[in-house]
Amino acid sequence: PNSPEEELHALAPRLIEIAKMIVDGSSNKTIANHQGVTENTIKTQVRRLYQKTGVSTRSQFISKFLSPIRNME
């Protein structure tokens, strides 16, 4: 299996930006406002992000990617 770092680098830049905002604790509404899209668009992108990274909840995502995302910055 790929490491969390490899999974992140395989994502589209927009999904990486959303991932960073999730790890920073941003809500879907905040992410949507930042991206200039609707909250439903972000919900769809977050679901896609979870599918691509093998998690099913926000807390699982943060637990898996907190360190790798911090190391990217």
- For CA atoms 12, 13, 18, 24, the dihedral sign is positive
pLDDT in tens, 32-42: 999 999 999 99
Cβ neighbors of 25 (< 8 A, separation 6 or more) are: none
Q: Provide the whole-model pTM.
A: 0.88
59 vs 55: CA distance, rounded Å: 9
Tokens of 18: 């959303």
State what percent of residues in the chain have pLDDT above 90: 74
pLDDT in tens, 57-70: 999 999 999 888 88
Q: Indicate if the pLDDT at residue 1 is higher than 70.
A: no
How many CB atoms within 10 Å of residue 69? 21
pLDDT in tens, 3-46: 998 998 899 999 999 999 999 999 999 999 999 999 999 999 99
Amino acid at 48: R
